[in-house]
A and B are shown apart, each in its own frame.
Chain A
Amino acid sequence: MTAALLMPAAPAISKPAALPDVQMRVTPTRIRVEGLSKRFVTRRADVQALDNVSLEIEQGEFVCLIGPSGCGKSTLLDIIAGLTKPDSGTVESDGKAVTAPAPDRMVMFQEPALFPWLDALGNVMFGLKLKPGLTKNDRLDIAHRYLKMVGLGGFEHSYIHELSGGMKQRVALARSLAPDPKVLLMDEPFAALDAITREQLYDDLQMIWAQTRKTIVFVTHNVREATCLADRVVLMSPRPGRIAQEFDIPLPRPRDINGAELSRYAGEMARSLKTVTDRSRQ
């Protein structure tokens, strides 16, 4: 069923909003996932994390992957990043097969994963130093610019442990943006933050996305978060991990996480999520 989803001739699945269909989209495909399956077998468990998952993401699109825990959304992100190898199926980024991590796809994790032996600037410089063709001054300029963009101008020489949780994630965001990747892969990056910090980051991320037009794949289990950020939300169901439903979010930007219209979308999505979760429990 999921494989058929992306074929133009296949019967359309329920979409709450009538938005441009697959055929009508003009922007080129950035990431193409086809028939992806992945199974994790340990001594204690045997989980079909992904079962024949196919997905296309366009250049500049903001896609959220959502679903109950165990639905394989993080595994899917890891495979797109090239950090995990699938059992079968392919991932293409800009037409080239993905077999390993590459600087055109940067990843942000739930933990900031910053290097404690470097200061904030040093962390942002880390990826830049691995990018060829830049002088030291170029790198410094870029690093300073992105730290300012995430609102951390003046904190260049702070050590990591001196920063708050939100500031750490901001450094991590600057670090992933600095090498100018085409794609940003974000794995529940705000899940461990408090609500106030998170809401600030929704605003900032929307603004940064508007400025940079990166393709973003964002994993979350929070429907409001997904509704606030995404052009398109992909709902996944667990055991085995499959794509259950897709939602387009045609709301104007910038979006307010507490907006009434946004709540309506989020509510609808929450019901679908609940259905999927309940079904998986039976």
Chain B
Amino acid sequence: MITSSAATMVASSARRTGIVVLFFTTLIGLWWLATASGRWSAVILPPPQAIAEYLWSGLLDGSILESTLVTMKRLLVGYFMGVAIGLPVGLLMASNQSVEDTVGSVALGFQTLPSVCWVPLALIWFGQSESAMLFVVVMGTTWSVMIATSHGARNIPPILGRAARTMGSQGFHRWTRVVLPASLPFLVTGMKQGWAFAWRSLMAAEIYVTILTGFGLGHLLHYGRELNAMDQVIGVMLVIVAIGLVADRILFSPWERFLHERWGTGAR
């Protein structure tokens, strides 16, 4: 009985993998057919193998890896700074109505501002420097995290707070051991949103601004355009997509799994 159900599971997962492989093979096949038909010049639409060749040579000469490292460093440092600012300020907003009324409305306003709009300001303040890049990422991250934290902390079930109080939890203990974990479902959403904003704004900044201290993926993309190297443009775009997916897996999947496991939310 158990073996047969295990066998069904293996079969169903093999079937799912098969469908995914088929889908992408068909997609690339159609792409290849389109380029092979000769209707479009290779400058506009390079064949799939040209992209593969670019990625391969970019990996071998280290240019892709180097740019990825530069970009990831900016992103991670900026992101964690943004979280480090947003989290405590968000808690402060939740605990103090005046802070919510003042800082809270500022946060809400800046959160609606597309974070790429910080680029011109960052350039004037910091010049074409790493600080400018960092600033843009922090601005992209921190407001969402702030608002999500405050929202989460304000929306925890009051009964949990009461239960904690009766057991003697108060002050710092209450905030770190009860309010913060209780608002985790909101927090994860907010941190994901902050990540998405930071990632997008950093790419925009890297494309528009050349910074001599390090060539990020955005620059690589930009030079691809300048050189009319469509294989490079598409190749780097794929790398950016891949990094986004991997970051989601590494940074957020563990938290989401934790939520599903403990809160019992979500299907499966």
Q: How many angstroms between the C-alpha atoms of A243 and B141 in the bound complex?
A: 57
B263 A103 Cβ-Cβ under 8 A: no
A179 within 8 A of partner (CB): yes
Contacts of B263 in A (CB 8 A): 116-117, 161
Q: Which residues of A contact B165 (CB under 8 A)?
A: 83, 101
Complex interface: chain B residues within 8 A of A131 (CB): 168
Give the size of the chain B interface in residues (CB under 8 angstroms).
Answer: 22
- Distance, CA A81 to CA B164, complexed state (A): 12
Inter-subunit contact B262/A117 (CB<8 Å) = yes
Q: In B140-186, which residues have CB < 8 Å from any A CB?
A: 157, 159-160, 162-169, 173, 177-178, 181-182, 184
Please provide the chain A residues from 102 to 143 with a CB less than 8 Å away from any CB of chain B in the complex: 102-103, 105-107, 109, 111, 113-118, 126-127, 130-131
CB-CB under 8 A for A117 and B162, given A106-B167, A126-B167: no
Judge whether B261 is part of the interface by a CB distance below 8 angstroms: yes
Cα of A111 to Cα of B160 in the assembled complex, Å: 10
Assess the B264–A162 pair: CB atoms within 8 A: yes
Residues of B contacting A: mostly:
helix
A107 to B164, CA, bound (A): 10
Whether, in the assembled complex, A79 has its beta carbon less than 8 Å from a beta carbon of chain B, the answer is: no
Docked pose: A279 CA to B165 CA in angstroms? 37
The one of A113, A130, A161 that contacts B163, using a Cβ cutoff of 8 Å: A113
The answer, yes or no, to whether A209 is at the interface (CB within 8 Å) is no
Q: Are A109 and B163 in contact (CB under 8 A)?
A: yes
Q: Please judge, given known A-B contacts A115-B181, A117-B182, whether A103 and B160 are in contact too, CB under 8 Å.
A: no
Q: Majority SS of interface residues in chain A?
A: loop
- The interface residues of chain A lying within 8 Å CB-to-CB of B162 are 83, 107, 109, 113
Residues of A within 8 A of B184 (CB): 117
Question: Nearest Cβ in chain B — how far from A177, in angstroms?
Answer: 12
A135 to B215, CA, bound (A): 54
Given contacts A159-B261, A161-B263, A161-B264, contact A113 B168 (CB under 8 A): no
Tell me if A105 and B166 are in contact (CB < 8 A): yes
Chain B residues whose C-beta falls within 8 Å of the C-beta of A116 in the assembled complex: 262-264
Which of the listed residues B166, B178, B184 has the most CB atoms from chain A within 10 Å of its own CB?
B166
> In the bound complex, do residue B169 and residue A130 qualify as a contact, i.e. CB atoms below 8 Å apart?
yes
CA gap between A159 and B177 in the complex, in Å: 17
Q: Do the beta carbons of A106 and B261 come within 8 Å of each other?
A: no
| Structural contact, A81 and B264, CB atoms closer than 8 A | no
- The residues of B with any CB-CB pair to A shorter than 8 Å are 157, 159-160, 162-169, 173, 177-178, 181-182, 184, 258, 261-264
> Can you pick out 5 interface pairs between chain A and chain B where the beta carbons lie within 8 Å of each other?
A83-B165, A101-B165, A113-B162, A117-B182, A127-B167
Q: Give the B-binding residues of A (Cβ under 8 A).
A: 81-83, 101-103, 105-107, 109, 111, 113-118, 126-127, 130-131, 159-162, 175, 179
